[in-house]
Amino acid sequence: MIGPSNLRWVIFLALALIGSYPLRVIHSLGDGRNHGQKQKQQQRLLVPMTLVRNASSLGAVCLDGSPPAYHIHRGFGSGLHNWLLQFEGGGWCNDVASCLERSRSRRGSTRLMNKLEVFSGILSDDPTMNPDFYNWNRVKLRYCDGASFGGDSEYKNGSTVLFFRGQRIWDAIMVDLFSEGFLLAQKVFLSGCSAGGLATFLHCDDLAQLIPPNASIKCMSDAGFFLDVGDITGNNTISLFFRGVVNLQDILQGVQKNLQAICRSFQDYLYQCFFPQYSLPYIRTPYFILNSAYDVYQFHHIFVPPSADPRGHWNHCKLNPAECTGDQINILQGFRYKMLAALRRFENSMNGGMFINSCFAHCQSELQETWFAPDSPRVHNKTIAEVVGDWYFERNVTKEVDCPYPCDLTCHNLIPAAQGPRRCNVGASVTIKRIRMLILLFLVLL
């Protein structure tokens, strides 16, 4: 039985342990100031799908031949003639087998896609959640071609037909948007996440040629700065993969035709221009790079792919950064260094912007909690939304680079699990250990 003296120590220790729990979690449990914000988050903005008119007559179809689509939420007030276009992400296919499999999923067919899409983060219509772009015309372009909206060919073999028409899909959507008021655009912001972020590198300057002469345009890649880097065994897994995307079955994808001519003239291999680090120097339109220095997609599939870790030595580290060994952290710091080195030339650009944080995440602009919320990630006390808005409206051209992991305590470490992304708070694992200690203490004192 616990005596009065021991009980005092137990209470004291419990308070000490609870008091060191991350403040962000305490706020989420009991801070009344966030109650209205949480209610608004629960009232999700669902935007219906729009199929592109006359797309098939233009040959603009998904991998399976279904029509392309987008979701549009109309602007109003001061944003009536401003447009934000967001490329959807979702990886790539690099051979006929993987593209055929993709064509039978939501990644290759609008027939299998959700017909309603949640608009949050940079797509939100709430000024408290998206202060700079909430009243713009906001459009999400659905991704169904497997090559970042970059191909223009097809494959036929008996009854098997695959359409690699990403470029035509992009063109057809823009033609459709012209009839929706894009011809009157005053400000344009082209963005995208992951493979959609990579698509912005391919189409940023192209879009600049389509907008009205008096309109302004800027572009942003969110988690689309895929590095040409070897994995932990020295093999360049991603280089071989991207080569397959670009050169699919004797260049079936047609991506090469859409890579910047000036980039192609300076690279040894054409597929290298599919890597943003090689194409970015030749983009003339003002550009913003939003990326994590420890991007979890690149960490899991490029830097430490399953083929490089057959015995699963990295499994615990992948699921929770707090479980990484010292050697593993040092290796990840090397990946961060390579990313910053690839961006060094861009860092000196006059009209470019950057937000490179040290969170284990992938795609941060469409997720409300990482874009703009009371507990959003920050670099130098600025949220992603604040830095992007300051850059776009030229209130302050900023290039924010975070300190190395684990110094940033504002991170939302979003680690993919078998059932999809999950938030992994590094502090939470520490707290679990403290709870275990508390339980053991009670058992000892009983």
Q: Checking DSSP bridges between strand 69-73 and strand 45-51, what pairing results, if any?
A: antiparallel
Cβ contact 66:144 at 8 Å: yes
Selected catalytic residue, list 103, 124, 153, 194: 194
Give, rounded to a whole angstrom, the gap between the first and last alpha carbons of the chain. Answer: 5
CA 177 to chain centre: 24
152 catalytic? Reply is no
Residues 6+ away with beta carbon under 8 Å from 30: none
Cβ contact 301:406 at 8 Å: no
CA distance 413 to 362: 9
CA distance 83 to 15: 51
295 catalytic? Reply is yes
Cis peptide before 406 (omega within 30 of 0): yes
Selected catalytic residue, list 145, 362, 375, 376: 362
Q: State the SS3 of the chain.
A: CCCHHHHHHHHHHHHHHHHCCCHHHHHHHHCHHHHHHHHHHHCCEEEEEEECCCCHHHCCCCCCCCCCEEEEECCCHHHCCEEEEEECCCCCCCCHHHHHHHHCCCCCCHHHCCCEEEECHHHCCCCCCCCCCCCCEEEEECCCCCCCCCCCEEEEECCEEEEECHHHHHHHHHHHHHCCCHHHCCEEEEEEECHHHHHHHHHHHHHHCCCCCCCEEEEEEECCCCCCCCCCCCCCHHHHHHHHHHCHHHHCCCHHHHCCHHHHHHCCCHHHHHCHHHHHHHCCCCEEEEEECCCHHHHHHHHCCHHHCCCCCCHHHHHCHHHCCHHHHHHHHHHHHHHHHHCHHHHCCCCCEEEEECCCCCCCCCCHHHHCCCCCCEECCEEHHHHHHHHHCCCCCCEEECCCCCCCCCCCCEEEECCEEEECCHHHHHHHHHHHHHHHHHHHHC
132 catalytic? Reply is no
Selected catalytic residue, list 295, 300, 301, 365: 295
Active site amino acids = 194, 295, 362
